[in-house]
A and B are shown apart, each in its own frame.
Chain A
Amino acid sequence: MEHLNPAYTALIHASQQGLAIEPQPYLRLAQALGVSEAYVIKQFQTMLDQGLIRRIAAIPNHYALGYVANGMCVWNIADERLDTVGTWLGSQAGVSHCYRRPRRLPAWPYNLFAMLHGKDHDTVRAQAKNISMHITQHFPGVLHDHDILFSTAILKKTGLRLRRP
């Protein structure tokens, strides 16, 4: 699929900034779109069932909750074992956004990315060190290099904002 399905674009545009926090949020959305509340509810349920919406939920601000150490942890793993290591890492507690991404040599040798969140940098460093030790023990010879990139400022955090076609 090359482009967003037009059947969903109006709904996405109307709701990408979030739901109204009031007794009937789907009715408010329906009124903005000129459709019925029942239609919006049915459409969302269908999109959820089809995996087009991951979920309807609240996203907490890690920082406001005291999770101020936000570390992007990166490893350079031998390609042939990357899926095995990545699958293991993705199942570990406290790990989010664990992905295989391309290396950009020579500037960037890392191909496994995971976000770790903690209340201070040392906690995140210790967690990353434990992960590296585990990889070394259980997948010998595959770990070449590792780094942690801590965030020092949020420059923008708006989430998805698709342009109107």
Chain B
Amino acid sequence: MTDTHTTPLHAPVKLDDTDRHILNRLQEGFPICSRPFARLAPDLSLSESDLIARVQYLRQSGVLTRFGPLFQIEALGGAYCLVAMSVPEKRWDSVVKTVNRHPEVAHNYRRAHALNMWFVLATASAQDLEACLTTIETETGLPVFAFPKEQEYALSLKLEL
């Protein structure tokens, strides 16, 4: 379940206009009803089965990283935190493995900076977040910089395709 390897940046995937319409529509929100694809399909001039096949392809080819409910984890009592570390090059692979092994690490990026590893922790409670930060610090022996969100000015980006 947990990625422990370093994935290269994804190569662009060819999309046609129908795929773009589907992606634009699906970023806005998916109906909550018994046959949601059947409800959406006419707007996209597709049959229910064609729409499902297209969305399956978009998911399998990696164009969609996720398709489902986006939980507002803080409103549910959980916690999110952006975290940065400065990882020495010669220890890079082992620290990536150590950090990514934690299911709380939702995503992790290498960035061009002295603080070269940036990841997001998602936990069921604030206490779990503190515990996870301490564990990562202990396991790696490296300082961990936590950047909790203090104020949100924007959240979602809708890519126009």
Contact = CB atoms under 8 A, between A and B. Distances in A.
Interface stretch (A92-100, A122-130, A135-143): A92-100
Given A61-B62, A153-B6, A100 B111 contact: no
B3 A147 contact: no
A156 B100 contact: yes
A163 B63 contact: no
Contacts of B35: 23-24
A61 B100 CA distance: 19
Interface residues of B, number: 91
Nearest to A45: B32
Contact of B104 (A114, A115, A163): A163
Contacts of A108: 84, 115, 145
Q: Which range holds the interface residue count of chain A?
A: 35 or more
Interface in B33-73: 33-38, 48, 52, 55-56, 58-59, 61-73
Task: State the majority secondary structure of interface residues on A.
Answer: mixed
Given A56-B30, A98-B154, A155-B119, A117 B9 contact: no
Contact of B125 (A2, A8, A82, A114): A2
A66 B12 contact: yes
A158 B105 CA distance: 8
Contacts of B156: 54, 96
A5 B77 contact: yes
Given A97-B154, A152-B111, A158 B2 contact: yes
B90 interface: no
A8 B75 CA distance: 12
B88 interface: no
B124 A21 contact: no
Interface string A85-128: 01101110011111111101001100001110100000000000
Given A64-B10, A157-B65, A41 B32 contact: yes
Given A21-B67, A149-B112, 20 more contacts: A3-B77, A12-B76, A23-B38, A26-B33, A52-B75, A57-B30, A60-B63, A60-B65, A61-B65, A63-B9, A65-B15, A98-B154, A102-B148, A113-B147, A151-B9, A154-B109, A155-B7, A155-B100, A157-B3, A161-B103
Interface of B: 1-3, 6-13, 15, 23, 26-30, 32-38, 48, 52, 55-56, 58-59, 61-73, 75-78, 82, 84, 86, 96, 99-100, 103-115, 117-119, 122-128, 145, 147-157, 159, 161
